[in-house]
Structure 1
Amino acid sequence: MRCDYYDAGQCRSCELMGVAATDQLTAMQRDLEVALAGVVPADVWRPPAHGPEEGFRNKAKLAVGGVRGAPTLGILDGERRGVDLRDCGLYEPGLHEAVVALAALVADLDLTPYDVPERRGELKHVLVTHSPDGELMIRFVLRSRAQLGKLKAGLPELRRRLPHARVVTANLLPRHEALLEGAEEIWLTRDRQLPMRVADLTLHLRPRSFFQTNTVVATHLYAQAATWVGGLEVATAWDLYCGVGGFALTAATALPRATVTGVEVAAEAVRSAQQAATESGLDGRVGFVAADATSYAEAHDAPDLVIVNPPRRGLGAELTDRLERSPTTHLLYSSCDAGTLAADLRAMPSLRVVHARGFAMFPQTRHAEVLVLARRG
C-alpha cells in the first residue's frame, strides 16, 4: 500500500506503510509467538487470519481543525493544529465517501472548528461508523450547545448528501481535555442504533458501543470462536466484557444446548445485545446482565466455559484468581494486547492453551488481535 500523506510526512500513524502485506503477517505472527512464549505452545498456533491491507476501516475518529469555511478532518500535528486526512486509504469505500461529504458539510454549515492551542471554537471531533449495508452513524462532538442549532438546521442537508445516515447525534465535551467524547449525547435522528451485520449475525451499535474496526477480520474472529467452542461439551457459558453481544451470540449459536450469560458494565450495550438475541431467536438461551465482570464472577457459580474480551489492560488479578480457583473447564480469550494476555495466562496456570490464532485487525501497524482457547488440566 502507498499513501501520499505518509510520503509527505503528514501522518505516520501507519508505522508499517510500504511493508509488503505478507511480511507484515509474518512479523505479526513472530511477535505474538515471542510475546506469548511459555504460555502458548508453539504447536497450537494456526496461520493468521487477515483481510485487505487497505480500505478496511469501518470507523473514522476525526479531529477537526482549520478555520470556519475551511475545516480539516483528520489528526492534529505536534503543535495541535489540524492535518486533513479525508482521503485516507484505510477507510472502507463507503466510509471514505462519507468523510469527504462531511468535510464539505462542516464548511457549508459554518461550524467553527475547535482551536486546541487557543481553547476556542466549537466542533472538536467527527466520529463516523459505516456498516456492511452502507448505513452510517455520525457523531459531532461539540464544546457546547452554541452551534447545536446550526447542526439541527443542517440535518436535512446532511441527509440529502448522505441518505444512508441512520443515526446522527451531537455529543457535548465541554472540558479542555484530550478526550474523544463527552458524557452527554443528543440524538438528532429517530434511530438510536446502527445495525452491524457480521456474517449471519446482526449486532446493534449505539454511540458508545465497541465494535472491531475491521469488519472482514471481525467476521473471521467470530467464525474461529464458533468453530472452537462448537466442539466443546459445555452446558453453561459466560461472556464477560460482552459489549453488544458478539461472542455471546456466537457461542449460543455454536452450542445449541447451552445457556449463555453475557456480562457488560454498560447498560445501553446490554440493551442492544438483548435486542440482537431476540431478533436472532436466541433469547431463550442467552441473556445479558449489566454488571462489573469481576464482581459478577465473584458472586456467581462459574460455568463450564468462560469467554472474555477485556480492554487492553486485561483481566486483572482478582478475576484471574477467581477463574484459576473455579471449576471452569474452558476459557476463550480474545485480546488486543499480547502482553496483558500473557500475564493473565501466567496467573491461571491450570488453564492450558490448546488453540491460538492471530488476527490482522490493524494492517499497516504492529497491533494485532489474538484468540486463544485454554482447557483446564
Structure 2
Amino acid sequence: MECLYFSADRCRSCTLMTVPYELQLQSKVERCQELLSDFGQLAFLPAQPSPEQGFRNKAKMVISGTTEHPTIGILDADGHGVDLRNCGVIDPALRAMFPVVERFIHELKLIPYDVPRRKGELKHVILTLSDTGAIMVRWVLRTKKHFVALRNSLPQFVEKMPPGSVVSVNFLPEHKAVLEGSEEIILTRRTTLQFELNGIPMHLRPQGFFQTNTHIAAALYRQARQWIDDVNPESLWDLYSGVGGFALHCAGEGRTVHGIETSAEAVEAASTSAASLGLDGVQFIVGDATEYALGAGWAPDAVIVNPPRRGISAELAAWLNASDVEHLIYSSCNAPSLARDLKRLDKFTPQLARVMDMFPQTEHFEVIVKLQRSAA
C-alpha cells in the first residue's frame, strides 16, 4: 500500500507502511511466537489476514484550522492541524463523509479548537461505519455554544447520511489529550448503530467500544464460537464483554451465558441484541470482571476474557487457577501482557493460538488463545 502522507512525512502513524503486507503478517506471527515461546505445547493456526487498506471502520478526526479552512486529521508536534481526509486505511464510506462535515463547519460557522491557544469550540469528529452501511457521527465540542446550531441542522445533515445512521454531540470542556467527555446527547431518534456480524445483530451506542476492523472482528468471533462449540459447555462467562460480541456468538441451546462489562451503555446495547435474538439464557451485567468472579460464589464450565491492553488482574488469574473452570479463551490486543498472564494461569495449558491482524500497516495485532485446564 502506498500513502502520500507517509511519503511526505506528514503522518507516521502506520509504521509498517513501506513493508509488503505478507512480510508484515509473517513478522507479527514470529513476534507472537517469540513472546509465547515458553509454552512449547502451543500450536499456531494460520494467521487471519485483513484487507490492506480501507479496513478501519472508525475515524477519530481532530478538527483544527479555521472555520473557513478546517483541517480534518491529526495534530503535529506543535499542536497544529494536519489534514488526512484521504487516509487510505479509513473505509472509503467514511472518507466520503468528510466533505459533508466540512460543509457543515462552514455553514454553521463552527469554530475549530486551537490547541496551543486553548480557544475554539469544535474539537473532534468521530465517525463509525457499520457493515450495514449506516454511520455514527459524533461531534465533540468544548462547550454548548454550537449545540443549538448542530441540533437545528440535524434534518439537513441526516439527509446526507445512509439510512439507519446516528448523530450525537459530546462535550469535552477540559483541555487534555482525550477524544471525548462524559456527557453525550444523541440527536437522532435512533440511538444505536447496528452491525450484522456473522448473522448476529449487535448494537453500538455512542460511547461504546467496538473493534476498529469489522472483517477481523467477525473472524475473531467465529474462531471463539468454534472453540466453544467444540467443548460444548453448559455455562459460559464472557468477561470484559463490551457490546457482547463473544457472548452473543457463543450462545447455544441449553447454554447459560453471562457477559460482564463495566460500561452500562455497552451492557444495554448487548442486552438489546440478546433480546432481538430471543436468547433467554444470555444475561449481561454491569460490573468489574475481577470483582464479579471473586464474588459470584460459583464458576462456569468455560470463560472468555477479552481485557484491555493491561491484561487481566493477578487476582482474576489466581481465581481462575483455583476455580472449577475447565476451558478458557483469552483474546488479547497486547501480546506482552498476554504472555505474562499465561504464565500466571499455570493451572491451564495453552493449546492453540491464532494471530488476527486487526491493525495492518502497524506493529499491533490481536491474538486469541485456547486453554484447557491441565491434568492433575
- The 8 Å contact of residues 40 and 353 in structure 1, kept in 2 or not, is answered as no
Cα drift, residue 349 of structure 1? 0.7
- The 8 Å contact of residues 101 and 162 in structure 1, kept in 2 or not, is answered as no
Partner of 1:182: 181
Pairs within 5 Å for 1:115-154: 115-154=114-153
Candidates 312, 320, 323, aligned match of 2:317: 320
- The 8 Å contact of residues 332 and 374 in structure 1, kept in 2 or not, is answered as yes
**C-alpha distance after superposition, 1:31-56 (max 9, x if no partner):** 111112113635x1001001210011
Q: Which aligned runs of 4 or more in structure 1 are off by greater than 4 angstroms?
A: none
Gaps of 5+ in 2: none
Distance 1:85 1:179 in 2: 19
What amino acid is aligned across from residue 288 of structure 1 in structure 2? F
**C-alpha distance after superposition, 1:140-185 (max 9, x if no partner):** 0000001112212222221222244621111000011111100100
Distance 1:214 1:293 in 2: 25
Task: Provide the TM-score with structure 2 as the length reference.
Answer: 0.97
**C-alpha distance after superposition, 1:189-240 (max 9, x if no partner):** 1111000111211100001111110001111111111111111042111000
SS at match of 1:89: coil
**1:34 equivalent in alignment to 2:31:** no
- The 8 Å contact of residues 111 and 147 in structure 1, kept in 2 or not, is answered as yes
Candidates 346, 351, 367, aligned match of 2:364: 367
What amino acid is aligned across from residue 17 of structure 1 in structure 2? M
Task: Provide the TM-score with structure 1 as the length reference.
Answer: 0.97
**C-alpha distance after superposition, 1:334-366 (max 9, x if no partner):** 000001111111111111111110001000000
What amino acid is aligned across from residue 22 of structure 1 in structure 2? E
SS at match of 1:86: coil
Question: How much identity, in percent, do the aligned residues show?
Answer: 46
Candidates 284, 287, 291, aligned match of 1:291: 287
Pairs within 5 Å for 1:44-55: 44-55=43-54
Partner of 1:7: 7
- The 8 Å contact of residues 58 and 215 in structure 1, kept in 2 or not, is answered as yes
Partner of 2:16: 16
- The 8 Å contact of residues 332 and 338 in structure 2, kept in 1 or not, is answered as yes
Partner of 1:95: 94
SS at match of 1:212: coil
Gaps of 5+ in 1: none
Pairs within 5 Å for 1:296-315: 296-300=292-296, 301-315=298-312
Partner of 1:231: 230
Distance 1:339 1:84 in 2: 34
Distance 2:5 2:80 in 1: 16
SS at match of 1:49: coil
- The 8 Å contact of residues 58 and 92 in structure 1, kept in 2 or not, is answered as yes
**C-alpha distance after superposition, 1:305-341 (max 9, x if no partner):** 0111011111011111111111100111100000111
How many residues matched? 373
Q: CA RMSD in A?
A: 1.2
Distance 2:152 2:177 in 1: 29
Candidates 323, 336, 340, aligned match of 2:337: 340
- The 8 Å contact of residues 134 and 161 in structure 2, kept in 1 or not, is answered as no
Cα drift, residue 264 of structure 1? 0.8
Distance 1:81 1:137 in 2: 26
- The 8 Å contact of residues 264 and 293 in structure 1, kept in 2 or not, is answered as yes
